[in-house]
A and B are shown apart, each in its own frame.
Chain A
Amino acid sequence: MRQSDIVVIGGSAAGLTAAITARRGYADRKVLIVRREQQVLIPCGIPYIFGTVGSPQKNLISDAVLEKNGIELLLAEATDIDRERKAVHTTAGEVGYERLVLATGSRPTMLPISGCDLDGVYAIVKDVEYLGKLQRRLETARNVAVIGGGFIGVEFADEINKAGDKHVTVVEVAPHCLSLAYDEEFCVEMEKVIASRGIDIRTSARVARIEGVGKVERVVLSDGSAVEADVVIMGVGAVAAVDLAKKAGLHVGLTGGITVDRTMRTSDESIFACGDCAEKTSFFGGRPSPLKLASIATFEARIAGANLFGIRRENAGTVGVWSTALGGTALATAGLTETMAQERGYDVVASTVEGPNRHPGGMPGAANTRVKLVFERHSGVILGGQVMGDAAAGEIINAVSACVQKKMTAEDIAMFQVGTHPALTASPVVYHVVNAAEMAIQQMTERGA
C-alpha cells in the first residue's frame, strides 16, 4: 500500500492550498494529493471561459505549483475511506495516511422544476469537458436564459453577451439581482450597468417550468410570461460534495457540509475538511453559513493545513468578502449589508461616501467611487462594507474586510493613517473609508447627545 504522511483528497483551490500550507508547516512530511480531474479549472474564472478568456483550456490551475512545492499527485478517484486502517481506497489502489484532508468541493444545484432535464439546460459544473460542451452549444444559440441573478449568473450573462449575436436574459426570483450581497441602492446601480450592456433582466420572477420538445425552447415564469431560450444556464448555487465523507461515517451538518470544529477537524480527529465541502458558520453570530467562495476555501485550507499535527490556527467564521465587475464597473462587499444587519437584529448605523479616487478629480484614471460602511450603533464595531467604483474596489474591500475581521470600531477606522497620492488614491482630506467612519461616528454621537 502506498503511504503518505498527509493525504489531501481534491486538488482545486482548497486541496491545493491545504497541501501547500502543510508542506510549509511540516516540511519533513510527505504530502500527496489524490485528484479525480486530469485538469483543474480556476473556479472564479469559469464565467470568463465564455467571453474574455475564450476556452476552458485557458482557465486552468497549472500542476507546476505541485512540483515547486514538493507535493505528490495521484490522479485517481477516492472511493472510500477505511478510518480504522487509516487508508483511502482509490481507483488506483490504496493509500495510507496519518492525516487526511477532505477538499472534495461542491456540486451545482438544479431547480426542481419540470423541464430541468431537457437538452440544452446546463448547470455550472466545474468540469473541462462539460463546460466545453456548453461552449460549443452556445456557438449556435440565439436566445440564452441565465437563471439566477447572483454574481455568477450576472458574470455568465455578461460574458455570453459579449459575442454580440445572442439575446441574453437574467431571471432572478428576488426583487433585485445581487441582493444577497448588496444593499438595494448598489443593486439598482448594477442593474443599470447590466441593462446598458444589452442584457434583459427579469426580477421578482419565479420560474414555473422549462418547456420544449426534446430540447429547451422557453422558460415559463409563474406570471405566465415566457422567456425564449435555446440554452438555459442555472446559476442558482451549490451544495457540498460529501458522498465520500458520508460513506466513511463522518458527521455531516444540517446545511449539508461536513461538520468541522474551528480548527477544521471533522468528527474523526485524524481527518480535516476545508472548502466547499465543509460546513461553515457565520462570523456574525455563528449561525450556519451557506456561502461557498474560493477565497473562503483557501482561508479554511490555510487553517486545516496548519493544524494537521498540532493546533496553530482557528476559524473565527465566514466574513463573506467578494467582488464582481462588469466592464469598468466593480462592485465589492464584505460582511453584512445594512439590510442583512437589520434583519439580524443589529441596531445599525450606516454611512455612505462618494467621490473620485484621485485628487484632484481631474487626474487621469479618476473614477467615481462609493463606499458604504455598516456599524453596530452601541459598540461602534464595523459589521460590513460595500464599494462601487473601478478595479480598485476589489482591494478597498479587502481593507474593509480586515477591519471587520479585527472587529474594529468606527473610531479605529477614523484614526487610520492612510497613504495617499494624487495619481493613485482619493484625497487624504476625503479618503472614502476614513470619511465614512467619521460620518458614522457623527450619527452615533448625535443620537447619544
Chain B
Amino acid sequence: MAKILIIDDDPDFVLALRVPLEARGFAVEEAGSAEEGIQKVLSVRPDLVILDVMMPAGYEGFDVARAIREQHGLKDLPIVILTSLHDKHQVPYRFAPDETYLPVDVFLDKPVKAEALVKTVEDLLGERREEPKHPL
C-alpha cells in the first residue's frame, strides 16, 4: 500500500484529501508544519508527498521541497506542491516545477478538485489505468 504524506497547516483541507485518497487504497500520513513534515519524510518514508506552499511563515513549502530533494537527497521522491498564491495575488505569471529552483514533480493551483489530485497521485505512482475505447 503506497504511503502519502500531506504537509499542510489546514486540517480541513487535509481531511478533504485524506478521504478520497484512503478510498483509493492509499495510506495517508499528515504533518501540520514544515518542520514536522521533514521529520515525517525521514521517519515515515512516504512514497509521495503532497505539500502546501503557504504555511504560516510565508513560502515555506518551497524550502521544504528543496530540503527534501537537496539536503536529504531524496531525488526520486515524488512531490506535488499545492498553492493558492496565483489566485490570491492575481499575478500574470506562474510558479512552476524547476530542477534548480523548485524541485517538485507537479504544481497544482488551489482550489483543486480531490478527484484531480487523486488522478495526479495515481499518475505519479503509476497506478492509474484507463480502458481504451479501441484496441488500436
Listed in ascending order, the chain A residues whose CB lies under 8 Å from chain B are 107-114, 117, 123, 125, 127, 130, 173, 206-207, 234, 236-237, 239, 243, 246, 251, 254, 256
Contact = CB atoms under 8 A, between A and B. Distances in A.
A254 B123 contact: yes
B92 A111 contact: no
A111 B92 CA distance: 13
Q: Which of A111, A112, A114, A234 has the most CB of B within 10 A?
A: A112
A236 B98 contact: yes
Contacts of A109: 93-96, 98
Chain A: interface secondary structure? loop
B91 A110 contact: yes
Nearest to A247: B113
Nearest to B89: A117
Contacts of A114: 59
Contacts of B93: 107-110, 123, 125, 234
Contacts of A251: 119
Interface of B: 59, 62, 89, 91-96, 98, 100-102, 105-107, 109, 116, 119-120, 123-124
Tell which of B89, B95, B109, B119 has the most Cβ of chain A within 10 Å. B95
B81 to A, nearest CB: 9
A251 B113 CA distance: 13
A254 B106 contact: yes
A112 B89 CA distance: 14
A257 B28 CA distance: 28
B94 A254 contact: no
A237 B100 CA distance: 13
B62 A112 contact: yes
Nearest to A269: B133
A254 B124 contact: yes
A1 B62 CA distance: 46
A130 B95 contact: no
Nearest to B119: A251
B105 A246 contact: no
B84 to A, nearest CB: 13
Contact of B95 (A112, A127, A254): A112
27 contacts: A107-B92, A107-B93, A108-B92, A108-B94, A110-B93, A110-B94, A110-B95, A111-B98, A111-B102, A112-B59, A112-B101, A112-B102, A113-B101, A114-B59, A123-B92, A123-B93, A125-B93, A173-B100, A207-B101, A234-B93, A236-B98, A237-B98, A239-B94, A239-B107, A246-B116, A254-B120, A256-B106
